[in-house]
Structure formats: structure tokens, C-alpha cells
Amino acid sequence: MSDLELFLQEYLLKTGALLNEQGEVLVQVGDFSPWAQSLTGPSALLLWDGVIRPAMTGQGREFALLERVSSGWALVFGQDRAEGAEHVRFARQVGQALQDRFGAA
């Protein structure tokens, strides 16, 4: 099992990808929904504003988190398990864990 697969299991996330600096997919794990697939690749970088980390977006019950890591970017997807401040705390925890696992940018 890859590091990304283990990470997704640990945080109960559905799918994920590691992207290079230009947003090209280096590693992709899981079955991506059409919405998730539309965000995977260079278009993912449009989420990044550098202020809120990780960058977050969602559609319906699905959410995406984008974080800078040493190889470029980590993009993970999950299903809503929390709302409001609880979701933000979870996102920050995942963002920090992505940096810890895949290297801070």
C-alpha cells in the first residue's frame, strides 16, 4: 500500500492525488467522482489562495482539501462528516498531517 493510500485510510478519506508544482498528477488513489476528477490536475491550483490552509471546497456532501507539500501539492477528497467549526478543525488537522507525511513546502 502506498503512503497516500495509508493516509486516506487513516483519515477516512475517499480519494486523493499528489500533484507536481504545475498541478500534473504524480499519484492518484481511489475512484474519483466526476466532480473530484474535474478538480484533479492543474485546475486544482485555482483553489489555492495561500491564506486559508488547506484550501477547501465542496459540492453536495463531497469536499476537497488542497495543501502544499514538498513534492508540490496534495489533494484529498472525502464525504462531510462534520459542519462549521468542526469541519474547519478537521481540515486543519488533515492539512498539517499532509505536511507531516509528505513534507512541508
Show me where the domains of the chain are located.
3-73+90-102
Residue 87's pLDDT is 86
Q: Which residues of the chain register pLDDT less than 50? A: none
Can you give the C-alpha Rg of the chain in angstroms? 12
Residue 81's pLDDT is 67
Residue 42's pLDDT is 94
Edge-to-edge strand ranges of the sheet holding 15-19:
25-29, 15-19, 72-79, 62-69, 55-59
- In 3D space, the residue among 50, 70, 47, 72 whose CA is nearest the CA of residue 58 turns out to be 47
Residue 84's pLDDT is 81
Is the Cβ–Cβ distance between 67 and 50 less than 8 Å?
A: no
Whole-prediction pTM:
0.93
Whether a cis peptide bond, with omega within 30° of 0, leads into 42 is no
